[in-house]
Copies of this chain bind each other. A is one copy, B any other.
Amino acid sequence: MAETAPVKAMLSVEEARERVLARFQPLAAEEVPLTEALGRVLAIDAVAREASPPFANSAMDGYALRSLDTRAATPDTPVSLRLAGEVPAGNVYAGEVGPGEAVRILTGAPVPAGADAVIQQELVSVAGDAVTLEAPVAVGNNIREAGEDARPGTLLARAGTELGPAEIALLASLGVSPARVTRRPRVAILATGNELERLGEPLRPGQIYDSNTPYLIAAVTRAGATPVSLGVARDLEDDLRAKLGAARGFDLLLTSGGVSVGDYDLVKRVLSERGSMTFWRVRLKPGKPLAFGALDGTPLLGLPGNPVSAAVTFELFGRPAIRRMLGAAQVERPEVEVVYEGRDLRRGDRRQYVRVRLASRGGRLVARDTGEQESHLISSLQGATALLIAPEGEGVIRAGELARALLLNDALPWEA
């Protein structure tokens, strides 16, 4: 077959990913209200400006008092304090708690001046303005000190942290809003292939539905970017040129199909004439062929057309590129060590990514394959929670052996 662009020697997954990632930088920062920041990535370190809690407050509903006054209290010699006032949450006690005095206090309310301890209401008896207790109360009892959660200057979350509900709550409690986050990458998606029909249209003989575009729209969204479909380009030069032209101004163009050695070379030819393209073969199964370059200034990643190959190569190359643009601290999915359960896995020249389902049994993390692994079998992708890695080399991975696996969901931030 005539080659219109150089096909380089086969690359390892790491070599290919390194070359892809070298082309991406974190995008510009923008400010968004915390209540709209879910899933966004911090562009700068979030640092506490004030203490949290901002003032010493009561951990219980009870009475604020001076510890010294209660020193002699026993069941036989109870101590009575004079109820001098009340401090509900949201208010500050105007005066000071004097010797022999107690002040009613609710959970979260500021500890009044003069008081150094709080006794919970269940442990006292109250009659008129007399608060009586039968045991000493230690200094600091039931008091949450200012700054216990965070002191001014405390690093709350580093640049590169993805904001989940817990991070949002922490930043909110410190008043850190709006949050300074990276802009969401805008990703154009283009499927190529004469055999592809768009969803909603009837199939003609020889046609199949384009499932890569719906897959990539979902996966790009999950990765934290904004997907825009450019449709399906048929094997017509004008159609392909027009649709590629629509990718101008996007942060990334993902194509699927048209990059295999045996494909009609239209896609490769049009890509090559419009930009600097490299066509790689990656020592990877599924998903060997991969194109990478830039088209009118827009980085382009050309994924294979087979649905599972497209999904795996998106995971290994596309998603990391998006995460790099987001400035995420970790651009790759976390890898974990698992106990393999399944059919013998024969290793080979190409690294294999085997779709598996994880489970925990008796404290062991086990991975079982999801069935047939051919690259057109979308059903095997469904329910996969990880990709088991069978490294390049010889021999067989058998049930019961340890292996590494790439989690398909890193919203679960595993420890290294």
The residues of B that contact A12 with a CB separation of less than 8 Å are none
The residues of B that contact A210 with a CB separation of less than 8 Å are 172
B88, B163, B337, B365: the one contacting A264 at CB < 8 Å is: B88
Q: Is the CB of B262 within 8 A of A121?
A: yes
The residues of B that contact A34 with a CB separation of less than 8 Å are 199, 214
B169, B263, B366, B407: the one contacting A106 at CB < 8 Å is: B263
Interface-located stretch among A16-24, A95-103, A142-150, A389-397 = A142-150
Chain A interface size band reads 35 or more
The residues of B that contact A25 with a CB separation of less than 8 Å are none
Minimum C-beta distance from A175 to chain B (A): 5
Interface-located stretch among A64-72, A128-136, A188-196, A322-330 = A188-196
The residues of B that contact A203 with a CB separation of less than 8 Å are 50, 54, 175
* Chain A residues near B (Cβ < 8 Å): 33-35, 38, 50, 52-55, 59-61, 88-92, 106-110, 121, 144, 148-150, 156-157, 163-175, 177, 193-196, 199-200, 203, 205-215, 217-219, 221-222, 229, 234-235, 260-264, 305-307, 311, 336-339, 357-366, 368, 374, 376-379, 381-385, 402, 407-409, 411-416
> Known contacts A33-B199, A206-B110: does B336 contact A378 (CB below 8 Å)?
no
Minimum C-beta distance from A5 to chain B (A): 18
Q: Is the CB of B206 within 8 A of A91?
A: yes
* Cα distance A160–B7 in the bound complex, in angstroms: 46
Minimum C-beta distance from A390 to chain B (A): 16
* Cα distance A91–B205 in the bound complex, in angstroms: 7
Q: Is the CB of B172 within 8 A of A109?
A: no
> Known contacts A364-B365, A382-B170: does B376 contact A53 (CB below 8 Å)?
yes
Q: Is the CB of B55 within 8 A of A199?
A: no
Kindly list 19 other residue pairs between chains A and B, CB separation below 8 angstroms, not including A168-B215, A169-B378. A52-B208, A54-B203, A59-B374, A61-B263, A90-B235, A91-B194, A92-B206, A106-B263, A156-B379, A166-B381, A168-B214, A170-B211, A177-B214, A336-B360, A337-B362, A338-B360, A363-B365, A383-B413, A411-B412
